[in-house]
Amino acid sequence: MIQATRVVRSGSALPAILVVALGASAGAAPESPDASSGSETGGELVDTAFGSGVPDAKTCAQGACDCIGAEERQLVASALRAYELSFGSLSSADGLAGAEPLLYPFVPIAGNLDQDRFHSSFVDLLPGTGLFDFNCGGITYDGHLGIDTMIRSWWFQSAGVPVFAVLDGTVVYAHDGEPDQNTCVCGAGLPGTQCPPGTLGNAVIIDHGQGRLGYYWHLRNGSVSVSLGEVVKTGRQIGLVASSGCSTGPHLHFESQQSGAAFEPNAGLCRPGESGWVSQEPLQLDLKKLAFGVHRSSLSGIFPPQEFPTSRQIALSDPLIYIWVNMGNLPAASTWQFQFVRPNGSVSFTSNVGSFANPFFRWVWSWWSWNVNDMHTIAGTWTVRLFVNGAIAFEEPVEVVAAINPAFNRAPYAVTAALAPASPSVHDAIVCRISGHFPVVDPDFDLVTNRYRWRVNGVVVRDVTTGGRADMLPAGAALADQVVECEVTPSDGQLSATPALASATVQCRVESGDFNGDGHIDGDDLGSLLGEWGACPGCGADLNCDGEVDGDDLGSLLGNWTG
């Protein structure tokens, strides 16, 4: 007999707290002559995509919820006024009508899109009731003012996922010391879901110039690494992703404000005009395979943002094998089907086609438990296939053994590393991205951290171990003609994969001296140059990229003078 229990944990772009019981369905007759018989039990559907920070209208009165609650926004406004009294006025766009727009070179969170980081909510562009994201879709919630990028679970929060300054700027707000595993909303949530009064997020606001403020919210307690009034370079780590403040799970709320008004940097059907990114990431709505695992024990009672457990081996004597997956963009009315393949390559069992009975889900967890007869008698490397809508979504090996070996372990799968930009300049933040076997990154389904060791001309300048599949070196960390290396070592905590290496020689990108981008090289630019006088690697005023703002740079600026 083959038993299966199915549980789906899921969510659209709008997280909610909704439990729906699913009825039981009959087991499938074997689809091949070489198959076992079986039956299937029922499960439940739990709609709880935590990543946006707050639920939708099912749990919030219209406009009453936000990643940054009304009380917190009032506190921030007071803090910014106090900053101006102590440090001087915030930047302004006044007089810069012809200036080049500030463009973001990257999303300010470590990781790879639709792998270990996933956009769960964009800016709501429809005033009043109702909602539209930049592409006229529903990947937002009513009144949302930023871009929410989620990570998978508390485990990744604990492993550490860095947040980076998206542009040069000055820190005008920094707050730390708040709890960082919140699962609550600020607003008219259902009973038991509201955050208590006074809930604040660990957060940073950077004045990026030209009237642009960047809000970085929900950071990990103790991770804020910048201070009020500090000048930071593009790519500087400023904190770690978490769930502090008005948040239902670990994610970064990145909010862009221009001259006091929030805006959406992504361009699309409902946000015409030029993009606010150097290279805008595509909005991909095809099915994303984010995670897969197997376990020897029941998964009942596990809810995101908890991480689902995994087992390195399944014993012949185990009553059931538990299989879980995490996917993105599950189409409405999707179907699933399992196939279990013996070590010799023959099919042991192909299940009936089951239904998720779902609307479109931006993000979904699902688990099943199976009792496959042959898995109690045949040891070896089995293959489990999961078909979604008739196509193979996951195909992973599973070790079945006569007796569990507690010492059994294999190193994570090897990765490759690449730098972006491939030919960086002194003024670029440099991203190191890894690629390889995904979504399963370890043959034993272990969770994996990545150690990034950055070297400039052989000298280590940054050494961090994180849960992200990317890391960053800030602008100015290397001078022209110096060699930057990124060495990445994946580890399951016991064994490590062979390190991957990427390198590039830093170039000098010649600057004109128009530092404020207004189309003129004049007294304002001269003031900027004098303000950076002295040792200043990576500074815009270091026109010849020698690490010093000095007479040579002054001469270049004056030679380009337009007045």
Residue located via tokens 């009672």? 301
CATH classification of the domain holding 200? 2.70.70.10
Q: Does 11 have pLDDT greater than 50?
A: no
Cα–Cα distance for residue pair 234/474, rounded to 1 Å: 6
Question: Does a structural domain hold residue 281?
Answer: no
Model pLDDT for residues 297-320, shown as the tens digit of each residue = 999 888 889 999 999 999 999 999
Verify that 248 and 124 share a domain, yes or no. yes
Q: How confident is the model at residue 23 (pLDDT cuts 50, 70, 90)?
A: very low
| Same-domain status, 129 and 248 | yes
The predicted pLDDT at position 524 comes to 76
Cα(462)–Cα(359) distance, integer angstroms:
45
Residue 143 placed within a domain: yes
98 shares its domain with 235: yes
Per the CB < 8 A criterion, the answer to whether 252 and 53 are in contact is: no
- The CATH number assigned to the domain holding 524 equals 1.10.1330.10
Considering the domain architecture, whether residues 112 and 215 belong to the same structural domain is answered as yes
Between 40 and 257, the higher pLDDT residue: 257
Domain membership flag for residue 476 = yes
Amino acid 29: pLDDT: 32
Is the domain of 523 the same as that of 480? no
Domain edge (last residue) among 490, 505, 520: 505
Tokens 């979604």 appear where? 388
CATH of the domain at 485: 2.60.40.10
Residue 34 reports pLDDT greater than 60: no
Local confidence band at 51 (pLDDT 50, 70, 90 cut-offs): very low
**pLDDT for position 190:** 59
Question: Which residue type is seen at 103?
Answer: L
Q: Is the pLDDT of residue 274 over 80?
A: yes
Indicate whether this model's pTM tops 0.75: yes
The verdict on 489 and 554 lying in the same domain is no
Q: How far apart are the first and last CA of the chain?
A: 85
* Statement to judge: residues 142 and 91 lie in one domain: yes
For the ranges 48-57, 211-220, 526-535, 539-548, the lowest mean pLDDT is seen at 48-57
* 269 belongs to a structural domain: no
Confidence check: pLDDT of 40 > 70: no
The answer on 91 and 77 residing in a single domain is yes
Residue 409 lies in a domain: no
Instruction: Judge if 463 and 532 occupy the same domain.
Output: no
Interval 111-169: pLDDT, tens? 999 999 999 999 999 887 778 899 999 898 888 899 999 999 999 999 999 999 999 99
- pLDDT reading at 41 higher than 50: no
3-state SS, one letter per residue, for 205-248? EEEEECCEEEEEEEECCCCCCCCCCCEECCCCEEEEEEECCCCC
**What integer best gives the mean pLDDT of the chain?**
87
Domain boundary among 465, 481, 505: 505
Three-state DSSP string of 371-425: CCHHHHCCCEEEEEEEEECCEEEEEEEEEEECCCCCCCCCCCCCEEEEEECCCCE
Q: Please give the backbone phi and psi of residue 553, each rounded to the nearest 5 degrees, phi first.
A: -70, -40
Burial of 230 (0-12, 13-18, 19+ CB in 10 A): middle
The answer to whether 549 and 534 have CB atoms below 8 angstroms apart is yes
What total number of domains does the chain contain? 4
Domain end call among 401, 430, 463: 401
Q: Are residues 149 and 255 located together in one domain of the fold?
A: yes
- Segment 379-405 mean pLDDT: 98
Q: Is 201 in the same domain as 112? A: yes
Pair 334, 225 in one domain? no
In a domain, 557, yes or no: yes
469 found inside a domain:
yes
Within-domain flag for 275 = no
Task: Give residue 120's identity as a one-letter amino acid code.
Answer: S
Which residues constitute the domain of residue 366? 4-49+286-401
- 481-529 per-position pLDDT tens digit: 999 999 999 999 999 999 999 999 999 876 777 776 666 788 877 887 8
DSSP E strands, 402-448: 415-420, 430-436
